[in-house]
Chains A and B, each alone.
Chain A
Amino acid sequence: MAESVLSTTDPRAAGSGTPRWLWLLIGYLVTFGIIAVIWEGSKAIFAIPDYKLPHLAQIVEAFFRPTPKGPTWLILLQDALYTAFEAFVGFTLGSITGFLIAALFQRYAPVRRGFLPYVIASQTVPIIAVAPMIVVGMGSLGAPPWLSKSIIAAYLTFFPVVINVLRGLESVDRDALLLMRSYAATDNQIFRLLRLPASVPYLFTALKISATASIIGAIIGELPVGSTRGIGVQIVVGSQYNTFNPGFLWATILTAALLGMIAYAVVALVERRIVRWKRPEREV
Protein backbone atom coordinates (compact mmCIF):
# COMPACT_ATOMS: atom_id res chain seq x y z
CA MET A 1 0.00 0.00 0.00
CA ALA A 2 2.76 2.40 0.86
CA GLU A 3 4.20 2.06 -2.62
CA SER A 4 1.09 3.01 -4.48
CA VAL A 5 0.85 6.30 -2.56
CA LEU A 6 4.12 7.41 -4.01
CA SER A 7 4.29 5.94 -7.46
CA THR A 8 5.04 8.58 -10.08
CA THR A 9 2.88 9.36 -13.05
CA ASP A 10 1.30 6.28 -14.53
CA PRO A 11 1.11 6.82 -18.29
CA ARG A 12 -2.02 4.73 -18.57
CA ALA A 13 -3.86 6.80 -16.01
CA ALA A 14 -2.53 10.04 -17.48
CA GLY A 15 -3.76 9.11 -20.93
CA SER A 16 -7.32 8.20 -19.98
CA GLY A 17 -10.06 10.64 -18.98
CA THR A 18 -10.16 9.67 -15.32
CA PRO A 19 -7.90 11.81 -13.11
CA ARG A 20 -4.99 10.12 -11.40
CA TRP A 21 -6.05 10.86 -7.85
CA LEU A 22 -9.35 9.08 -8.49
CA TRP A 23 -7.52 5.97 -9.65
CA LEU A 24 -5.39 6.11 -6.52
CA LEU A 25 -8.44 6.52 -4.29
CA ILE A 26 -10.20 3.60 -5.98
CA GLY A 27 -7.01 1.58 -5.48
CA TYR A 28 -6.92 2.35 -1.75
CA LEU A 29 -10.57 1.54 -1.26
CA VAL A 30 -10.29 -1.75 -3.13
CA THR A 31 -7.15 -2.74 -1.18
CA PHE A 32 -8.81 -1.78 2.08
CA GLY A 33 -11.89 -3.78 1.13
CA ILE A 34 -9.80 -6.88 0.44
CA ILE A 35 -7.96 -6.53 3.76
CA ALA A 36 -11.25 -6.04 5.62
CA VAL A 37 -12.76 -9.16 4.03
CA ILE A 38 -9.70 -11.28 4.92
CA TRP A 39 -9.59 -9.81 8.44
CA GLU A 40 -13.22 -10.31 9.36
CA GLY A 41 -13.43 -13.53 7.33
CA SER A 42 -10.59 -15.26 9.15
CA LYS A 43 -11.94 -14.00 12.46
CA ALA A 44 -15.28 -15.65 11.69
CA ILE A 45 -13.92 -18.86 10.13
CA PHE A 46 -11.26 -19.58 12.77
CA ALA A 47 -13.32 -18.13 15.64
CA ILE A 48 -10.49 -15.84 16.74
CA PRO A 49 -11.36 -14.15 20.06
CA ASP A 50 -11.40 -10.35 20.30
CA TYR A 51 -8.29 -10.09 22.49
CA LYS A 52 -6.28 -11.83 19.77
CA LEU A 53 -7.89 -10.07 16.83
CA PRO A 54 -10.57 -7.43 17.43
CA HIS A 55 -13.27 -6.46 14.95
CA LEU A 56 -12.32 -3.56 12.69
CA ALA A 57 -15.26 -1.69 14.18
CA GLN A 58 -13.75 -2.12 17.65
CA ILE A 59 -10.53 -0.48 16.46
CA VAL A 60 -12.42 2.46 15.00
CA GLU A 61 -14.46 2.68 18.18
CA ALA A 62 -11.27 2.69 20.27
CA PHE A 63 -10.12 5.84 18.48
CA PHE A 64 -13.23 7.71 19.54
CA ARG A 65 -13.54 6.42 23.11
CA PRO A 66 -13.52 9.40 25.53
CA THR A 67 -10.86 9.63 28.24
CA PRO A 68 -10.50 12.11 31.14
CA LYS A 69 -8.02 14.03 28.94
CA GLY A 70 -10.15 14.04 25.78
CA PRO A 71 -11.02 11.57 23.03
CA THR A 72 -8.53 8.75 22.45
CA TRP A 73 -7.59 9.89 18.94
CA LEU A 74 -6.46 13.24 20.34
CA ILE A 75 -4.29 11.53 22.97
CA LEU A 76 -2.78 9.25 20.33
CA LEU A 77 -2.18 12.22 18.03
CA GLN A 78 -0.31 14.08 20.78
CA ASP A 79 1.82 11.04 21.55
CA ALA A 80 2.45 10.45 17.84
CA LEU A 81 3.63 14.04 17.43
CA TYR A 82 5.99 13.61 20.37
CA THR A 83 7.40 10.43 18.81
CA ALA A 84 7.63 12.19 15.46
CA PHE A 85 9.67 14.95 17.10
CA GLU A 86 12.07 12.43 18.67
CA ALA A 87 12.33 10.55 15.39
CA PHE A 88 12.92 13.73 13.40
CA VAL A 89 15.77 14.83 15.65
CA GLY A 90 17.26 11.33 15.42
CA PHE A 91 16.73 11.15 11.67
CA THR A 92 18.49 14.48 11.13
CA LEU A 93 21.34 13.56 13.45
CA GLY A 94 21.73 10.07 11.96
CA SER A 95 21.54 11.23 8.35
CA ILE A 96 24.18 13.90 8.82
CA THR A 97 26.45 11.50 10.71
CA GLY A 98 25.89 8.79 8.09
CA PHE A 99 26.65 11.17 5.26
CA LEU A 100 29.85 12.41 6.86
CA ILE A 101 31.00 8.85 7.54
CA ALA A 102 30.28 7.87 3.93
CA ALA A 103 32.20 10.90 2.60
CA LEU A 104 35.11 10.08 4.91
CA PHE A 105 35.10 6.43 3.81
CA GLN A 106 35.01 7.40 0.14
CA ARG A 107 37.89 9.82 0.49
CA TYR A 108 40.15 7.69 2.69
CA ALA A 109 40.18 4.03 1.74
CA PRO A 110 42.25 2.92 4.79
CA VAL A 111 39.74 4.55 7.17
CA ARG A 112 37.01 2.68 5.37
CA ARG A 113 38.79 -0.66 5.57
CA GLY A 114 39.39 -0.12 9.26
CA PHE A 115 35.97 1.14 10.31
CA LEU A 116 33.42 -0.35 7.92
CA PRO A 117 33.32 -3.67 9.84
CA TYR A 118 32.40 -1.75 13.01
CA VAL A 119 29.67 0.16 11.21
CA ILE A 120 28.19 -3.14 10.04
CA ALA A 121 28.66 -4.71 13.48
CA SER A 122 26.77 -1.80 15.03
CA GLN A 123 23.64 -2.96 13.22
CA THR A 124 23.93 -6.58 14.25
CA VAL A 125 23.65 -5.59 17.91
CA PRO A 126 20.01 -6.18 18.96
CA ILE A 127 18.86 -2.62 19.50
CA ILE A 128 16.03 -3.78 21.78
CA ALA A 129 18.69 -4.96 24.25
CA VAL A 130 20.81 -1.84 24.02
CA ALA A 131 17.94 0.66 24.09
CA PRO A 132 17.22 0.44 27.88
CA MET A 133 20.93 0.99 28.61
CA ILE A 134 20.95 4.14 26.50
CA VAL A 135 17.71 5.43 28.02
CA VAL A 136 18.79 4.75 31.60
CA GLY A 137 22.37 5.85 31.02
CA MET A 138 21.44 9.14 29.42
CA GLY A 139 18.70 9.71 31.99
CA SER A 140 21.24 9.43 34.80
CA LEU A 141 23.40 11.98 33.00
CA GLY A 142 20.53 14.43 33.20
CA ALA A 143 19.74 14.52 29.48
CA PRO A 144 16.16 15.43 28.52
CA PRO A 145 14.03 12.28 28.12
CA TRP A 146 13.48 12.72 24.37
CA LEU A 147 17.20 12.86 23.62
CA SER A 148 17.88 9.20 24.40
CA LYS A 149 15.03 8.21 22.04
CA SER A 150 16.49 10.45 19.35
CA ILE A 151 19.87 8.82 19.82
CA ILE A 152 18.36 5.38 19.28
CA ALA A 153 16.53 6.68 16.20
CA ALA A 154 19.81 8.13 14.91
CA TYR A 155 21.51 4.79 15.56
CA LEU A 156 19.08 3.05 13.23
CA THR A 157 19.14 5.91 10.72
CA PHE A 158 22.81 6.39 10.02
CA PHE A 159 23.53 2.91 8.69
CA PRO A 160 21.44 2.90 5.50
CA VAL A 161 22.78 6.37 4.78
CA VAL A 162 26.41 5.26 5.13
CA ILE A 163 25.97 2.24 2.86
CA ASN A 164 23.88 3.93 0.16
CA VAL A 165 25.74 7.23 0.02
CA LEU A 166 29.05 5.40 -0.11
CA ARG A 167 27.75 3.46 -3.06
CA GLY A 168 26.44 6.64 -4.65
CA LEU A 169 29.73 8.47 -4.26
CA GLU A 170 31.48 5.56 -5.96
CA SER A 171 28.83 5.00 -8.63
CA VAL A 172 30.46 7.62 -10.81
CA ASP A 173 30.97 6.76 -14.47
CA ARG A 174 34.60 6.17 -15.49
CA ASP A 175 34.54 8.61 -18.37
CA ALA A 176 32.85 11.23 -16.18
CA LEU A 177 35.88 10.94 -13.89
CA LEU A 178 38.32 11.06 -16.81
CA LEU A 179 36.57 14.20 -18.00
CA MET A 180 37.36 15.83 -14.65
CA ARG A 181 40.92 14.59 -14.97
CA SER A 182 41.16 16.17 -18.42
CA TYR A 183 40.25 19.50 -16.77
CA ALA A 184 42.93 18.91 -14.13
CA ALA A 185 40.20 19.17 -11.47
CA THR A 186 41.19 18.89 -7.80
CA ASP A 187 39.85 16.10 -5.57
CA ASN A 188 37.61 18.62 -3.84
CA GLN A 189 36.16 19.75 -7.16
CA ILE A 190 35.58 16.15 -8.22
CA PHE A 191 33.74 15.56 -4.96
CA ARG A 192 31.64 18.69 -5.13
CA LEU A 193 30.84 18.73 -8.84
CA LEU A 194 30.66 15.02 -9.63
CA ARG A 195 30.50 12.57 -6.73
CA LEU A 196 28.17 14.56 -4.53
CA PRO A 197 25.44 15.24 -7.10
CA ALA A 198 25.78 11.68 -8.46
CA SER A 199 25.07 10.32 -4.97
CA VAL A 200 21.84 12.26 -4.41
CA PRO A 201 19.45 9.59 -5.76
CA TYR A 202 21.24 7.03 -3.56
CA LEU A 203 20.93 9.39 -0.60
CA PHE A 204 17.17 9.57 -1.06
CA THR A 205 16.86 5.80 -1.28
CA ALA A 206 18.62 5.68 2.08
CA LEU A 207 16.54 8.49 3.56
CA LYS A 208 13.32 6.69 2.69
CA ILE A 209 14.51 3.62 4.58
CA SER A 210 15.86 5.77 7.41
CA ALA A 211 12.67 7.79 7.76
CA THR A 212 10.69 4.71 8.76
CA ALA A 213 13.62 3.27 10.74
CA SER A 214 13.86 6.47 12.80
CA ILE A 215 10.21 6.09 13.86
CA ILE A 216 10.89 2.47 14.88
CA GLY A 217 13.98 3.64 16.77
CA ALA A 218 12.07 6.29 18.71
CA ILE A 219 9.33 3.80 19.58
CA ILE A 220 11.88 1.23 20.80
CA GLY A 221 13.35 3.96 23.00
CA GLU A 222 9.93 4.60 24.53
CA LEU A 223 9.29 0.98 25.47
CA PRO A 224 11.47 0.72 28.63
CA VAL A 225 9.77 1.41 31.96
CA GLY A 226 9.97 5.04 32.96
CA SER A 227 8.95 6.60 29.67
CA THR A 228 5.86 8.76 29.97
CA ARG A 229 5.18 10.12 26.51
CA GLY A 230 5.13 8.84 22.94
CA ILE A 231 3.23 6.32 20.86
CA GLY A 232 5.56 3.59 22.16
CA VAL A 233 4.25 4.19 25.69
CA GLN A 234 0.69 3.84 24.38
CA ILE A 235 1.62 0.57 22.65
CA VAL A 236 2.88 -0.77 26.02
CA VAL A 237 -0.30 0.39 27.74
CA GLY A 238 -2.41 -1.11 24.96
CA SER A 239 -0.75 -4.52 25.27
CA GLN A 240 -1.18 -4.49 29.04
CA TYR A 241 -4.91 -3.72 28.91
CA ASN A 242 -5.58 -5.64 25.72
CA THR A 243 -8.05 -8.10 27.26
CA PHE A 244 -10.25 -5.27 28.58
CA ASN A 245 -10.02 -2.97 25.57
CA PRO A 246 -9.06 -5.08 22.53
CA GLY A 247 -9.41 -2.30 19.94
CA PHE A 248 -7.00 0.09 21.65
CA LEU A 249 -3.73 -1.84 21.04
CA TRP A 250 -4.52 -1.96 17.33
CA ALA A 251 -5.37 1.73 17.35
CA THR A 252 -1.88 2.49 18.71
CA ILE A 253 -0.24 0.14 16.19
CA LEU A 254 -2.19 1.75 13.36
CA THR A 255 -1.12 5.19 14.55
CA ALA A 256 2.52 4.12 14.60
CA ALA A 257 2.22 2.63 11.11
CA LEU A 258 0.61 5.81 9.83
CA LEU A 259 3.46 7.82 11.30
CA GLY A 260 6.00 5.70 9.41
CA MET A 261 4.10 6.10 6.16
CA ILE A 262 3.90 9.85 6.56
CA ALA A 263 7.65 9.99 7.24
CA TYR A 264 8.29 7.99 4.06
CA ALA A 265 5.92 10.14 2.01
CA VAL A 266 7.53 13.38 3.20
CA VAL A 267 10.98 12.18 2.10
CA ALA A 268 9.58 10.97 -1.24
CA LEU A 269 7.96 14.37 -1.83
CA VAL A 270 11.18 16.21 -1.03
CA GLU A 271 13.00 13.87 -3.39
CA ARG A 272 10.60 14.63 -6.19
CA ARG A 273 11.15 18.34 -5.69
CA ILE A 274 14.94 18.09 -5.58
CA VAL A 275 15.75 15.35 -8.08
CA ARG A 276 14.04 16.98 -11.04
CA TRP A 277 16.74 16.18 -13.55
CA LYS A 278 15.96 12.49 -13.73
CA ARG A 279 14.07 10.89 -16.56
CA PRO A 280 10.59 10.27 -15.21
CA GLU A 281 10.21 6.59 -14.55
CA ARG A 282 7.78 4.34 -12.81
CA GLU A 283 9.29 3.56 -9.48
CA VAL A 284 8.13 2.18 -6.16
Chain B
Amino acid sequence: MAEAPIIAIDKVSKIYGNANARTVALQDVSLTIQKGELVSLVGPSGCGKSTLLRLVADLDTPSQGAITINGHAPEQARKQREYGFVFQAPTLYDWRTVERNARLPLEVMGRPADTWQARLDKMLAMVGLRDFHHHYPWQLSGGMQQRASIARALSFDPAILLMDEPFGALDEFTRERMNMELLDIWETTHKTIIFVTHSIAEAVFLSSRIVVMTPRPGRIAATVAVDLPYPRNFETRESPRFFELVTQVRETLKEEFVGHA
Protein backbone atom coordinates (compact mmCIF):
# COMPACT_ATOMS: atom_id res chain seq x y z
CA MET B 1 0.00 0.00 0.00
CA ALA B 2 1.13 3.50 -0.78
CA GLU B 3 0.33 5.19 2.51
CA ALA B 4 2.05 4.15 5.72
CA PRO B 5 -0.35 2.33 8.05
CA ILE B 6 -1.70 4.33 11.02
CA ILE B 7 -1.25 1.29 13.26
CA ALA B 8 1.41 -1.37 12.72
CA ILE B 9 1.66 -4.42 14.96
CA ASP B 10 4.80 -6.43 14.33
CA LYS B 11 5.30 -9.96 15.75
CA VAL B 12 3.80 -9.09 19.11
CA SER B 13 3.61 -11.63 21.92
CA LYS B 14 2.22 -11.22 25.41
CA ILE B 15 3.01 -13.74 28.10
CA TYR B 16 1.53 -13.54 31.59
CA GLY B 17 2.74 -15.26 34.71
CA ASN B 18 6.07 -16.78 35.71
CA ALA B 19 8.03 -19.89 34.81
CA ASN B 20 5.59 -22.13 36.72
CA ALA B 21 2.35 -20.76 35.38
CA ARG B 22 2.74 -19.23 31.95
CA THR B 23 -0.16 -18.04 29.87
CA VAL B 24 0.54 -17.07 26.31
CA ALA B 25 -2.14 -14.45 25.74
CA LEU B 26 -0.79 -13.49 22.34
CA GLN B 27 1.71 -15.21 20.10
CA ASP B 28 3.46 -13.63 17.17
CA VAL B 29 0.65 -11.32 16.12
CA SER B 30 1.22 -9.02 13.14
CA LEU B 31 -1.36 -6.65 11.75
CA THR B 32 -1.41 -3.32 9.93
CA ILE B 33 -4.33 -0.94 9.90
CA GLN B 34 -4.79 1.90 7.42
CA LYS B 35 -6.13 5.30 8.27
CA GLY B 36 -9.93 5.37 8.25
CA GLU B 37 -10.43 1.61 8.52
CA LEU B 38 -12.94 0.06 10.89
CA VAL B 39 -11.29 -3.21 11.90
CA SER B 40 -12.95 -5.71 14.20
CA LEU B 41 -11.06 -8.19 16.33
CA VAL B 42 -13.39 -11.13 16.77
CA GLY B 43 -12.94 -14.41 18.57
CA PRO B 44 -13.92 -16.42 21.64
CA SER B 45 -12.88 -15.55 25.20
CA GLY B 46 -9.16 -15.95 25.78
CA CYS B 47 -8.13 -15.30 22.18
CA GLY B 48 -6.27 -12.19 23.26
CA LYS B 49 -8.38 -9.65 21.38
CA SER B 50 -8.81 -7.35 24.38
CA THR B 51 -5.16 -7.84 25.31
CA LEU B 52 -4.11 -6.76 21.84
CA LEU B 53 -6.27 -3.63 22.10
CA ARG B 54 -4.74 -2.77 25.47
CA LEU B 55 -1.25 -3.19 24.07
CA VAL B 56 -2.08 -0.73 21.30
CA ALA B 57 -3.42 1.66 23.95
CA ASP B 58 -0.31 1.26 26.13
CA LEU B 59 -2.50 0.13 29.00
CA ASP B 60 -0.24 -2.92 29.03
CA THR B 61 3.14 -3.66 27.42
CA PRO B 62 4.02 -6.47 25.00
CA SER B 63 6.49 -9.18 26.03
CA GLN B 64 7.95 -9.25 22.53
CA GLY B 65 7.52 -7.39 19.27
CA ALA B 66 6.74 -3.79 18.47
CA ILE B 67 3.71 -1.60 17.91
CA THR B 68 3.77 1.75 16.15
CA ILE B 69 0.96 4.26 16.00
CA ASN B 70 1.42 7.11 13.56
CA GLY B 71 5.09 6.22 13.67
CA HIS B 72 5.23 6.46 17.48
CA ALA B 73 5.58 3.88 20.21
CA PRO B 74 2.27 3.29 22.06
CA GLU B 75 3.49 5.16 25.15
CA GLN B 76 4.24 8.24 23.11
CA ALA B 77 0.94 7.92 21.26
CA ARG B 78 -0.87 7.75 24.59
CA LYS B 79 0.94 10.80 25.89
CA GLN B 80 0.07 12.67 22.70
CA ARG B 81 -3.58 11.66 23.17
CA GLU B 82 -3.84 10.04 19.77
CA TYR B 83 -6.62 7.61 20.68
CA GLY B 84 -9.85 7.46 22.64
CA PHE B 85 -10.64 4.26 24.54
CA VAL B 86 -14.13 2.87 25.15
CA PHE B 87 -14.43 0.12 27.76
CA GLN B 88 -17.03 -2.61 27.92
CA ALA B 89 -18.48 -0.97 31.04
CA PRO B 90 -19.34 2.70 30.42
CA THR B 91 -16.91 3.64 33.22
CA LEU B 92 -18.61 6.99 33.78
CA TYR B 93 -17.75 8.85 36.94
CA ASP B 94 -20.86 8.65 39.13
CA TRP B 95 -20.42 12.12 40.58
CA ARG B 96 -20.33 13.82 37.21
CA THR B 97 -23.25 14.61 34.95
CA VAL B 98 -23.20 13.35 31.37
CA GLU B 99 -21.73 16.61 30.12
CA ARG B 100 -19.11 16.76 32.85
CA ASN B 101 -18.16 13.14 32.14
CA ALA B 102 -17.78 13.89 28.46
CA ARG B 103 -15.55 16.85 29.20
CA LEU B 104 -13.27 14.95 31.58
CA PRO B 105 -10.54 14.39 28.96
CA LEU B 106 -10.68 18.08 27.99
CA GLU B 107 -10.06 19.00 31.63
CA VAL B 108 -7.22 16.52 32.00
CA MET B 109 -5.61 17.63 28.76
CA GLY B 110 -5.94 21.28 29.65
CA ARG B 111 -7.76 22.21 26.45
CA PRO B 112 -8.92 25.85 26.56
CA ALA B 113 -12.19 25.98 28.50
CA ASP B 114 -13.88 28.35 26.07
CA THR B 115 -13.76 25.67 23.36
CA TRP B 116 -15.42 22.99 25.52
CA GLN B 117 -19.07 23.82 25.22
CA ALA B 118 -19.37 23.84 21.44
CA ARG B 119 -17.47 20.58 21.22
CA LEU B 120 -19.55 18.89 23.93
CA ASP B 121 -22.84 20.08 22.43
CA LYS B 122 -21.79 18.61 19.11
CA MET B 123 -20.59 15.27 20.51
CA LEU B 124 -23.56 14.73 22.80
CA ALA B 125 -25.93 15.55 19.94
CA MET B 126 -24.05 13.08 17.76
CA VAL B 127 -24.58 10.25 20.24
CA GLY B 128 -28.22 11.22 20.79
CA LEU B 129 -27.89 12.67 24.28
CA ARG B 130 -28.86 16.23 23.39
CA ASP B 131 -31.41 16.42 26.20
CA PHE B 132 -29.36 14.61 28.82
CA HIS B 133 -26.45 16.97 29.49
CA HIS B 134 -27.29 17.35 33.16
CA HIS B 135 -28.35 13.81 33.99
CA TYR B 136 -26.27 11.68 36.32
CA PRO B 137 -25.13 8.24 35.10
CA TRP B 138 -27.56 6.33 37.33
CA GLN B 139 -30.44 8.13 35.64
CA LEU B 140 -29.53 6.67 32.24
CA SER B 141 -30.10 3.26 30.64
CA GLY B 142 -27.11 1.06 29.83
CA GLY B 143 -27.22 2.07 26.18
CA MET B 144 -27.32 5.77 27.02
CA GLN B 145 -24.44 5.37 29.44
CA GLN B 146 -22.37 3.78 26.71
CA ARG B 147 -23.33 6.61 24.34
CA ALA B 148 -22.04 9.06 26.92
CA SER B 149 -18.77 7.16 27.14
CA ILE B 150 -18.43 7.29 23.34
CA ALA B 151 -19.05 11.05 23.42
CA ARG B 152 -16.32 11.28 26.06
CA ALA B 153 -13.88 9.34 23.86
CA LEU B 154 -14.66 11.62 20.90
CA SER B 155 -14.67 14.89 22.84
CA PHE B 156 -10.96 15.55 22.36
CA ASP B 157 -11.11 14.50 18.70
CA PRO B 158 -8.52 11.71 18.64
CA ALA B 159 -7.70 10.18 15.25
CA ILE B 160 -8.16 6.63 16.58
CA LEU B 161 -10.98 5.03 18.55
CA LEU B 162 -10.22 1.82 20.44
CA MET B 163 -13.37 0.01 21.54
CA ASP B 164 -13.27 -3.00 23.84
CA GLU B 165 -16.58 -4.87 23.46
CA PRO B 166 -18.45 -1.59 23.99
CA PHE B 167 -21.89 -3.06 23.31
CA GLY B 168 -21.27 -6.48 24.88
CA ALA B 169 -23.45 -5.79 27.90
CA LEU B 170 -26.40 -4.39 25.95
CA ASP B 171 -29.52 -6.21 24.81
CA GLU B 172 -29.79 -7.27 21.16
CA PHE B 173 -32.09 -4.41 20.06
CA THR B 174 -30.07 -1.70 21.72
CA ARG B 175 -26.89 -3.22 20.37
CA GLU B 176 -28.15 -3.16 16.77
CA ARG B 177 -29.18 0.46 17.14
CA MET B 178 -25.82 1.35 18.63
CA ASN B 179 -24.13 -0.41 15.69
CA MET B 180 -25.99 1.86 13.27
CA GLU B 181 -25.08 4.92 15.31
CA LEU B 182 -21.45 3.94 15.45
CA LEU B 183 -21.37 3.57 11.66
CA ASP B 184 -22.91 7.05 11.35
CA ILE B 185 -20.24 8.44 13.63
CA TRP B 186 -17.50 6.65 11.74
CA GLU B 187 -18.76 7.94 8.39
CA THR B 188 -19.00 11.54 9.62
CA THR B 189 -15.76 11.67 11.59
CA HIS B 190 -13.48 9.42 9.47
CA LYS B 191 -11.88 7.97 12.59
CA THR B 192 -9.80 4.84 12.50
CA ILE B 193 -11.57 2.33 14.72
CA ILE B 194 -10.45 -0.94 16.25
CA PHE B 195 -13.51 -2.71 17.57
CA VAL B 196 -13.23 -5.78 19.79
CA THR B 197 -16.26 -8.06 19.91
CA HIS B 198 -17.22 -11.68 20.38
CA SER B 199 -20.23 -11.29 18.12
CA ILE B 200 -19.54 -12.40 14.55
CA ALA B 201 -22.69 -10.67 13.23
CA GLU B 202 -21.68 -7.40 14.86
CA ALA B 203 -18.19 -7.65 13.39
CA VAL B 204 -19.51 -8.33 9.88
CA PHE B 205 -22.08 -5.54 10.07
CA LEU B 206 -19.63 -2.89 11.23
CA SER B 207 -16.24 -3.66 9.79
CA SER B 208 -14.37 -2.94 6.65
CA ARG B 209 -12.10 -5.78 7.71
CA ILE B 210 -12.36 -8.54 10.29
CA VAL B 211 -9.44 -10.06 12.14
CA VAL B 212 -10.42 -13.54 13.35
CA MET B 213 -8.53 -14.61 16.45
CA THR B 214 -8.30 -17.97 18.22
CA PRO B 215 -7.17 -18.86 21.73
CA ARG B 216 -4.43 -21.00 23.34
CA PRO B 217 -2.25 -19.33 22.31
CA GLY B 218 -3.96 -16.13 21.20
CA ARG B 219 -3.20 -15.48 17.54
CA ILE B 220 -4.68 -14.31 14.28
CA ALA B 221 -6.33 -17.15 12.35
CA ALA B 222 -7.47 -15.14 9.34
CA THR B 223 -8.40 -11.69 8.13
CA VAL B 224 -11.59 -11.25 6.17
CA ALA B 225 -12.23 -8.20 4.01
CA VAL B 226 -15.89 -7.23 4.24
CA ASP B 227 -17.14 -6.09 0.86
CA LEU B 228 -20.64 -5.07 1.95
CA PRO B 229 -21.26 -1.53 0.66
CA TYR B 230 -21.60 1.44 3.03
CA PRO B 231 -23.82 3.00 4.22
CA ARG B 232 -25.11 -0.16 5.82
CA ASN B 233 -28.61 -0.45 7.23
CA PHE B 234 -31.18 -2.99 8.34
CA GLU B 235 -31.32 -4.53 4.87
CA THR B 236 -27.60 -5.23 5.09
CA ARG B 237 -28.25 -7.71 7.88
CA GLU B 238 -30.70 -9.57 5.66
CA SER B 239 -28.59 -9.65 2.49
CA PRO B 240 -27.22 -13.03 1.30
CA ARG B 241 -23.67 -11.63 1.29
CA PHE B 242 -24.00 -10.76 4.99
CA PHE B 243 -24.84 -14.38 5.79
CA GLU B 244 -22.03 -15.66 3.58
CA LEU B 245 -19.53 -13.53 5.45
CA VAL B 246 -20.90 -14.55 8.86
CA THR B 247 -20.61 -18.17 7.79
CA GLN B 248 -17.11 -17.64 6.47
CA VAL B 249 -15.92 -16.18 9.80
CA ARG B 250 -17.68 -18.91 11.75
CA GLU B 251 -16.12 -21.63 9.60
CA THR B 252 -12.67 -20.15 10.20
CA LEU B 253 -13.23 -20.28 13.94
CA LYS B 254 -14.63 -23.81 13.72
CA GLU B 255 -11.71 -25.13 11.67
CA GLU B 256 -9.30 -23.65 14.15
CA PHE B 257 -11.09 -25.30 17.04
CA VAL B 258 -11.28 -28.66 15.35
CA GLY B 259 -7.64 -28.38 14.35
CA HIS B 260 -6.56 -27.71 17.92
CA ALA B 261 -8.95 -29.97 19.78
Using a CB–CB cutoff of 8 Å, the interface residues on chain A facing chain B are: 173, 175-176, 178-185, 189, 193-194, 197-198, 200, 275, 277-279
B108 in complex: contacting residue of A175, A185, A278, CB < 8 Å: A185
B87 within 8 A of A: yes
Q: Is the CB of A193 within 8 A of B108?
A: yes
- List B contacts of A182 (CB < 8 A): 57, 59, 78, 83-85
Minimum CB–CB distance for A62 against chain B, Å: 48
B95 in complex: contacting residue of A173, A184, A277, CB < 8 Å: A277
Bits for B43-77, please: 1 = Cβ < 8 Å to A, else 0.
Answer: 00000000000000101000000000000000000
Q: Which 4 A-B pairs have the closest CB atoms?
A: A279-B138, A183-B108, A182-B85, A277-B95
Minimum CB–CB distance for B54 against chain A, Å: 8
The closest CB in chain A to the CB of B87 belongs to A175
Q: Is the CB of A189 within 8 A of B93?
A: no
Sample 14 A-B pairs with CB under 8 A, ordered by A number.
A178-B87, A179-B87, A180-B108, A182-B78, A193-B93, A197-B93, A197-B96, A198-B93, A198-B95, A275-B95, A277-B94, A277-B95, A277-B97, A278-B94
Report how far A200 CA is from B93 CA in the complex, Å. Answer: 13
Minimum CB–CB distance for B144 against chain A, Å: 15
A183 in complex: contacting residue of B87, B109, B136, CB < 8 Å: B109
Minimum CB–CB distance for B242 against chain A, Å: 32
The closest CB in chain B to the CB of A182 belongs to B85
The main secondary structure of chain A at its interface with chain B is helix
Q: Is the CB of A184 within 8 A of B78?
A: yes
Minimum CB–CB distance for B142 against chain A, Å: 14
Q: Is the CB of A193 within 8 A of B89?
A: no
- With A173-B91, A181-B59, A181-B78 already in contact, 17 other A-B pairs whose C-beta atoms are closer than 8 Å: A178-B59, A179-B85, A179-B91, A180-B108, A183-B104, A183-B105, A184-B108, A189-B108, A193-B104, A193-B107, A193-B108, A197-B93, A197-B95, A275-B95, A277-B96, A277-B138, A279-B138
The closest CB in chain B to the CB of A280 belongs to B138
B260 within 8 A of A: no
B81 within 8 A of A: yes
B79 within 8 A of A: yes
B136 in complex: contacting residue of A181, A198, A200, A277, CB < 8 Å: A277
Q: Is the CB of B108 within 8 A of A200?
A: no
A184 in complex: contacting residue of B81, B96, B136, CB < 8 Å: B81
The closest CB in chain A to the CB of B164 belongs to A175
Contact A194-B138, Cβ < 8 Å, known A178-B59, A179-B87: no
Bits for B80-114, please: 1 = Cβ < 8 Å to A, else 0.
Answer: 01011101010101111100000011011100000
